[in-house]
A and B are shown apart, each in its own frame.
Chain A
């Protein structure tokens, strides 16, 4: 089932309230969402998200296809920011609308797990002590994605 789909990759901020209202307007009765924020742990001052523009849109559309094939969704919103970000800023938003709460919740969970492992983004973090590091992937992220029943990659 294919509902209203909105996929965005942008440098600017987004407003979860506005996004939730749009999803609520799709008539499903159930809306779920996930918002990811930049954490300031360990003296993080800022980060930069790099991505592969030609591939990002395709990869995100593929993830949305998979969610729509598995759950009856009336609406699906994926927003991922790139460029410079500071602690407290929102990085990523996933929203789903459905007639069934389980579908909305499970699809939302699936989408964020898969966005982390199947979309070509890379984070470079900068710390107050001058360190700059590229974030290493965590085995837990692959495990979170693979429990949805397909091999996680990249």
Chain B
């Protein structure tokens, strides 16, 4: 099934686009599987996804862990850890 994938921050910059629609094969069961599968699409994808421990994800606008199943997802976002707020220490 087709899934809209969104990218933010340096993930978006490395891949060179902020969104794409993909149809992963059946063996892609989790976000981590999806990241591995997407890595083969281009050198930019491979660069963005080289360090899965630096990635976070959301399914249909809710944060999820990378081992979350992708079944039924309409929109999956992949991005770095968030850094909102004012940046003040403590």
Contact B82 A120 (CB under 8 A): yes
Q: Is the interface of B mostly helix, strand, loop or mixed?
A: loop
B85 at the interface (CB under 8 A from A): yes
What's the least CB distance linking A14 to chain B, in Å? 13
B9 touching A122, Cβ below 8 Å: yes
Task: Kindly provide the distance from the CB of B56 to the nearest chain A CB, expressed in whole angstroms.
Answer: 4
Residues of B5-38 at the interface with A, using a CB-CB cut-off of 8 Å, are 6, 8-10
B52 within 8 Å of A (CB atoms): no
Whether A49 contacts B84 in the complex (CB less than 8 A), given A120-B8, A122-B79, comes out as yes
Cβ of A121 under 8 Å from chain B: yes
Residue from B8, B83, B88 in contact with A52 in the complex, judged by beta carbons closer than 8 Å? B8
Residues of B within 8 A of A92 (CB): 84-86
The answer to whether B61 and A54 have CB atoms under 8 Å apart is: yes
Interface residues on A, range: 35 or more
Which chain B positions have C-beta within 8 A of A154?
Answer: 56, 58, 63, 81-82
Would B85 and A112 count as touching, CB distance under 8 A?
Answer: yes
- Rounded to whole angstroms, the CA-CA distance of A150 and B76 in the bound complex is 24
Using A55-B61, A116-B85 as known contacts, list a sample of 17 further A-B pairs with CB atoms less than 8 Å apart, ordered by residue number in A.
Answer: A36-B85, A36-B88, A49-B84, A52-B77, A54-B75, A59-B61, A59-B63, A91-B87, A112-B85, A116-B84, A120-B77, A120-B84, A121-B85, A124-B9, A140-B90, A153-B56, A153-B63
A-B contact pairs, 28 of them (CB 8 A): A39-B87, A39-B88, A51-B84, A52-B8, A52-B79, A54-B61, A55-B77, A91-B86, A91-B87, A116-B82, A119-B82, A119-B84, A120-B58, A120-B77, A120-B79, A120-B84, A121-B82, A122-B8, A122-B79, A122-B82, A123-B84, A123-B87, A134-B80, A136-B81, A137-B81, A153-B56, A154-B63, A154-B82
